[in-house]
Amino acid sequence: MSLILTGERLIIRELLREDLPELLATYNSNPEYNQLRNGTSTVSIGELEAEYDATISIPSGHWLAITRKGTIIGVIHIVLSSENDPKSWISLLLLHADFQQQGFGKETVALMEAYCIQHGSQHVHHGVIAHNEPALLFWGRLGYEQYRQVEAPVGRLTQPVLLVAKWLTPTK
C-alpha cells in the first residue's frame, strides 16, 4: 500500500530503502537521542537498514518519511491497530535537529492521528524513553497521558520506557 498524507506544510509518504542514506542525516543530527537509545552518538547505515527491515516486516507497520519541499526532514514509524493488536502505535517520531521546535512534529502527529481515526483506531500509543524529558514534554503537550512504565528494548539498550496514549475523537 502506498501511503501519502498531505498537511499544511508537510507531506508524509512511505519511506523507501533508497531513502535511507538521506534519512541517516536526520538520525545523526540528534546525538543526544542516539546516546539515549543506543549508547553511541551516531547511527550507521547498517543499523538504519536493520531497523527499517524490522519495522516493515510488521504487516501493519509503516516507515514514513516526513518531507518538506521535497526534502526528508524526519521519520515516523506507525503500527496500525489490527485483529491481533487493537492498539495503534507511533513507535518513533524523529525530526532533523534543524526542523525541531517549529511545529512540524505537532503537524506530523495530527496527520497520523487523523489517519488512525480513518482506520478505526480509538486511541494511539507511544513509548517514551523515561530519561528523554523533551519528548515527554512534547507528547504531554499533545494530550498523551502516561499509563504505565515498563523496561523495554529501545535501540540497542533495555531501559525504562513510559507508555503514553491519547484517546482519539473522530471529527464530523
Helix (H) or strand (E) holding 106: helix 104-118
- pLDDT tens, residue by residue, 93-151: 999 999 999 999 999 999 999 999 998 889 999 999 999 999 999 999 999 999 999 99
- Going by C-alpha positions, the residue among 110, 144, 88, 95 that lies closest to residue 5 is 110
The owner of cell 549508547 is 39
pLDDT at 2: 79
pLDDT tens, 108-121? 999 999 999 998 88
Per-residue pLDDT, 107: 98
Residue 64 C-alpha from the chain's centroid: 8
C-alpha cell at 89: 502505535
- State the distance between the two ends of the chain, measured CA to CA, in whole angstroms: 26
Report the predicted TM-score, pTM, of the whole model to 2 decimal places: 0.93
Name the CATH superfamily, with its identifier, for domain 4-167. Gcn5-related N-acetyltransferase (GNAT) (3.40.630.30)
Q: What is the pLDDT of residue 83?
A: 75
Neighbours of 14 (CB within 10 A): 14
Percentage with pLDDT > 70 across the chain:
98
